[in-house]
Amino acid sequence: MTALTPAETALLGRARAPMERAHAPHSGLRVGAAVRDEDGHIHVGCNVESDSFGLTLCAERAAIAAMVAAGGHRVMAVAVVCDGDLLPWPCGACRQVLSEFAEDAPVLVERVTGEFGRATLAQLAPRAFRFRLSDTP
């Protein structure tokens, strides 16, 4: 795999601070995410676990919510960092939500050890669900 570019390194760096603030009392797995929007602004989020596990918010979706709240509309790149044993590839729910804001954005993942991975959203969610109002009867 080719080395990270300076822009990729910077985006991963922006995901580290929210990782440190993650609320993970059940798993202990802290995750931070950063998304770059169409205007070049960076929005961050972290995972927030709930006692009702299904209500847990992933870092990627938290970052997208921050982007939308700030007026962003398109995700141009995604970075996810974790302090766990495996690379933090986005879960299925996050892949779906990301696909609604980005068609083929680069997705960068990194462990705090420095191990990293790179893919495109199209590789991670090649046939994401789409709902079009015109498709309804």
Q: Annotated catalytic residue: which of 20, 49, 60, 103?
A: 60
The Cα 76–Cα 104 span in angstroms is: 8
Do residues 109 and 89 make contact, with C-beta atoms less than 8 angstroms apart?
yes
SS3 (DSSP) at 63:
helix
The Cα 81–Cα 46 span in angstroms is: 10
To the query of whether residue 60 is one of the catalytic residues in this protein, the response is: yes
* Phi, psi torsion values for 15, nearest 5 degrees: -80, -15
- Residue numbers annotated as active site: 60
